[in-house]
Structure 1
Amino acid sequence: MKPVNIKKQREKEVRHLLERQWEIWDLERELGFIKLERPIRHGWYKEIVITHKIELYKNQKYILEVYDKIEKFVWARTKEKADFQWQHKTSQYLIYNDIPTLSKKQYNRLSDKAKSLCVPFQYYTERRKLRIRFYLKIPKGAYKIKFTRAYNTHQKRIDPCLISEKAFIENQLKRPGYYNINEAFYRWKNHWNFKEYKQIKLKEKRRLNDLKKTPIDDVINDKF
């Protein structure tokens, strides 16, 4: 009988381990979240919010349209760190007059009248690549920058059995002779799956951020 090729056998084992790893990630995502009886204080937001004075402007519809596209807040454990994060975004994304700017992709999704509130400018990225972003001409009376307390309103459900199995699989994939095979699989086979997984995690993170911003009264009265 022809002997089994050790590398082929290991590739087969790695393939099964990776498939089970993805199954576990899906199962963990399906567990969902548990609503907390009382929200837990969890850091601060520094954010840009629209004020009631926006009703004084005839183009309020288009101001709200561009406002919906911008990154409205940053989160950190303390006010000082939230302010630092905001200033970091100022240097990274060139926030103008404390209003985050829009990327070209975000700009292209606006209506023509909303685009009239945007002013293009060019800048260089950290890698010295020329890019275009857009300043927003929003009246100062229509918005304000403030700090807001952040709360955790939900807790992610966990399954100890899944956590234990996932740790076991990770250790198996790190064994001598298996690690390089695992890395090779991620390079040529699981690349798009990994991108999909990261997109799912990003959506979950955004959902959690929305939950954190829910006012306490709405949480208590179950209005979110």
Structure 2
Amino acid sequence: MILCLAQILDTERRARIDALLAAAEFVDGAQTAGWHARLVKANRQASPGHPAAREAAALVSAALRDHAVFRSAVLPRRIAPPLFARYGGGESYGTHVDDALMGGDALRSPLRSDVAVTVFLADPESYAGGELVIEDPAGEQAFRLGAGDAIAYPATSLHRVACVTSGERRVAVTWVQSLVRDAAQREILFDLDTARRQVFDREGKSGTFDLLAKSHANLLRRWAEP
């Protein structure tokens, strides 16, 4: 399931992130790509250890966790610290698939990347090109969303960032380990959660709502990996 989310970041949060990133250090983005993906990655990325980048990443993570639709659709267990990328004229990120396991050390296990997330930070009118292109069985789909909007999609997908032809594409990217690793199961749970909320808004705590709530809870018990 590919899900577009409007205004994950409000104007105030975007302004704060822009100010923080203006003070951050940007380096060659290929440094954080996997051994094969770095061959097709041409962008600049904020150094994750820079204090300004860490504060900006915390703002994006909090905004995602605060968003009810994101929580319902993605069922986040862990969210990787977001990375911030800039693409200027002539820069792109060729076709690749994200690493299945990310990070981890002696104290914490690696994060399994179930869902990839891109949060757009630049107004689409300020640059040309730079579409996020995701491959699925129906073909390619291209996305260039508004500033503050986000897209969440299965990290199992081949995807790329088209070449920027003018201006600067600015995004935050992160990955989520979901409580439910199977994308089809997550979609069923999201549909059920959406339906039960719509029934509750229309009827209150009715018999229909109770049955939908029961089915959602019991499927979550069956499929979740706490």
Q: TM-score, with normalisation over the residues of structure 2?
A: 0.19
* Higher share of residues assigned strand: 2
- Kindly indicate whether structure 1 or structure 2 has the higher relative contact order, using CA contacts under 8 Å at least 6 residues apart: 1
Instruction: Flag the structure with larger Rg.
Output: 1
* Higher share of residues assigned helix: 1
Q: TM-score, with normalisation over the residues of structure 1?
A: 0.20
